[in-house]
Chain A
Amino acid sequence: MMIREGLSNRILLWAITIAGLIVIYAPPLYLLAVSFNPALQPGLPRLSDLSVTWYAALPNDRALVGALQQSLMIATITAVLATGMSLMAALAYFELRAQRTAWFLTVILPMFVPGVIQGLALSAVFTRSGIKASSLTVIAGHLLWAMPFAFIVILTSFAAVRRSYLTAAADLGATWWRQFVDITLPLIRPGLISAFIFSFLLSLNEFTRAFYLAGRQNTLPVVLFGKMNSGASPVIYAMSGAIFLVSVACVALASLHFMLRRN
């Protein structure tokens, strides 16, 4: 496009991209195949053996289904909160001058605390302040875990907002709020979407903090961990396979929506 890469460089770039995709797809695709294998032993099924035995058993596994619902709920709320709070933090970052660095470091600090420790210490804080564990406490832990990531993602996307746009708008009499809604928000939308997806995935897959902070209803990673530790049936692979297929469908629909909208 803007750069003439040359054929060999293009081939190199695509080769690395494809290699990366193979590395991230090997495990989930292998699992997907395993989940259609009726045998107890996880392995690649023969084509003639393909079966949905484990998928059929999935709705009956109340522990898994309950944990999945809990995780989706927690991940959604965490993602909404983390995106909103990070947006505020990012806007504040640009409003600040001298204390910018201090603010930046303050917001990203929580991401460096090991999960085991943050989980245990936060649950100690909650217990001592008389706050009972529930989905709320997990969300509190996940919020702090996801926020630094969302914050940096949103900051990165702020580059699209040129200071000159805002100054021009201000000269025309736009309030801070109008500048934000009419100029900033449309420009940083990709960053907000990425921050939301990031936070959602971070919360959905988070194990350690959830273990310490959860109430009686565990999240999916905690239940999966327990099942793998003490006698699982291949239903857990069907669960992963189902999540994979549903996310393929969701992401495909969203992509289609993007493609059609602008064409």
Chain B
Amino acid sequence: MTGSRLPISSALMTPPLLSILAFGLAPLTIVVVWSFWSWDPSTYWIKPDLSLAGYAGILEAGRWTVIVSTLVKAFATALLCLLIAYPTAYAVHFLAGRRLSIILLALITIPFFTSYLIRSFSWRLVLGRTGVLNSWLQDIGIINAPLDWLLFSNFAVVVGLVASYLPFATFPLLLSMRRVDPTFLAAAQDLGAGFWKSLTSILLPLTMSGIFAGFLFVFVMVVGSSTEVQMLGGAGASIVSVMINDVMRVANYPLAFAISTIVLIVIFGLVLIGNRMFGLASLFEDQSP
């Protein structure tokens, strides 16, 4: 790298870096600092007395289990989304002709212009006891009585989450497939590799950046979500954002900030580990000369 390049990278970095510092790092610092302050019963606010009460609170009342179950939900949803999105991206990129691929892309985008709040609510109408799905299943005689577990269950939550965040997996995958050099695949075919062999040994490794990006996008969306769980989950179903709201409702700000800090550390830790293991940050570097 020549010395003359450096000013360019600094100039490029300045605007994004400034906004990250002002709108990202400043509030983040507040969150972390306040998580070590104490709650002040006389003002119902916090005071700058160092305390670990917020962190201790996470270990009580099963709060940590909510963090764990949130991560599990996020993992499961991200995985499911990848399982659906990968074939979709494949179909759009490799199977469909030009026109069909444009139509498919359009179809994938359209639903996400309507509010996810209203979309989640409509799952209640679709999956409920008197909902469309139960009516159909009864009409065609598969079941005699409505299935209760279709709604207000983890099943409903996962359906709602997948429906809400699926394109967050599809688009990065599609972009990563676009970058795959067709000659690699052709070469594999010439060497006699079948579909599954080509898929696992050539396409998957070459699209790893898209897989990572898609997984991360869905994962992060789920960790920040609350609507799907509140509308579709069973009695008292929880997720990190719901728990933080519960805690803020009783003005326990140090606890709310401690939960956020822990969640942030856990996710960022996962990303760092991923980075160590797979070299995530370099996945986006050019792979061909």
In the complex, is A directly touching B at CB under 8 Å?
A: yes
Residues of A that sit less than 8 Å from B by CB:
1-6, 9-10, 12-14, 16-17, 19-21, 23-28, 30-31, 34, 42-44, 85-86, 88-89, 91-97, 100-101, 103-118, 120-122, 124-125, 140-141, 143-144, 147, 149, 152-153, 155-164, 176, 190-191, 194, 197-198, 201, 204-205, 207-208, 220-221, 224-225, 228, 236-237, 240, 243-244, 246-248, 251-252, 254-255, 258-259, 262
From A3, A114, A221, A244, contact of B240 by CB (8 A):
A114
Binary flags per residue of B71-111, CB closer than 8 Å to A gives 1, else 0: 00000000000011101101110110011001111111111
A12–B176 Cα distance when bound, in Å, is 21
From B119, B175, B185, contact of A27 by CB (8 A):
B119
Report whether A104 and B281 are in contact in the complex, using a CB–CB cutoff of 8 Å. yes
Enumerate chain B residues within 8 angstroms of A16, measured Cβ to Cβ.
Answer: 83-84, 87-88
Which stretch from B53-61, B137-145, B148-156, B208-216 is at the chain A interface? B208-216
From B98, B163, B280, contact of A26 by CB (8 A):
B163
A44–B260 Cα distance when bound, in Å, is 41
Report whether B268 and A112 are in contact in the complex, using a CB–CB cutoff of 8 Å. yes
From B88, B189, B282, contact of A101 by CB (8 A):
B282
Enumerate chain A residues within 8 angstroms of B69, measured Cβ to Cβ.
Answer: none
Report whether A24 and B166 are in contact in the complex, using a CB–CB cutoff of 8 Å. yes
CB distance from B191 to the nearest CB of A (A): 13
Give me 4 other A-B pairs in contact (C-beta within 8 A), A156-B175, A246-B113, A247-B110 excluded: A23-B162, A140-B23, A152-B217, A244-B113
Enumerate chain A residues within 8 angstroms of B280, measured Cβ to Cβ.
Answer: 104
11 contacts between A and B (CB under 8 A): A14-B95, A20-B84, A26-B163, A30-B126, A92-B9, A95-B8, A101-B282, A110-B20, A113-B24, A162-B286, A228-B121
A192–B86 Cα distance when bound, in Å, is 21
Q: Which 4 A-B pairs have the closest CB atoms?
A: A159-B179, A121-B27, A95-B9, A247-B113
From A108, A117, A159, A163, contact of B31 by CB (8 A):
A117
Report whether A191 and B12 are in contact in the complex, using a CB–CB cutoff of 8 Å. no
Residues of B that sit less than 8 Å from A by CB:
1, 5, 8-9, 12-13, 15-17, 19-20, 22-24, 26-28, 30-31, 83-85, 87-88, 90-92, 94-95, 98-99, 102-123, 125-126, 132, 159, 162-163, 166-168, 170-172, 175-176, 178-179, 182, 185-186, 188-189, 194-196, 198-199, 203, 209-210, 213, 216-217, 220, 223-224, 226-227, 240-241, 244-245, 248, 256-257, 260, 263-264, 267-268, 271-272, 275, 280-282, 284-289
Report whether A93 and B284 are in contact in the complex, using a CB–CB cutoff of 8 Å. yes
Report whether A152 and B94 are in contact in the complex, using a CB–CB cutoff of 8 Å. no
Enumerate chain B residues within 8 angstroms of A109, measured Cβ to Cβ.
Answer: 20, 24, 28, 268
Enumerate chain A residues within 8 angstroms of B213, measured Cβ to Cβ.
Answer: 152-153, 156
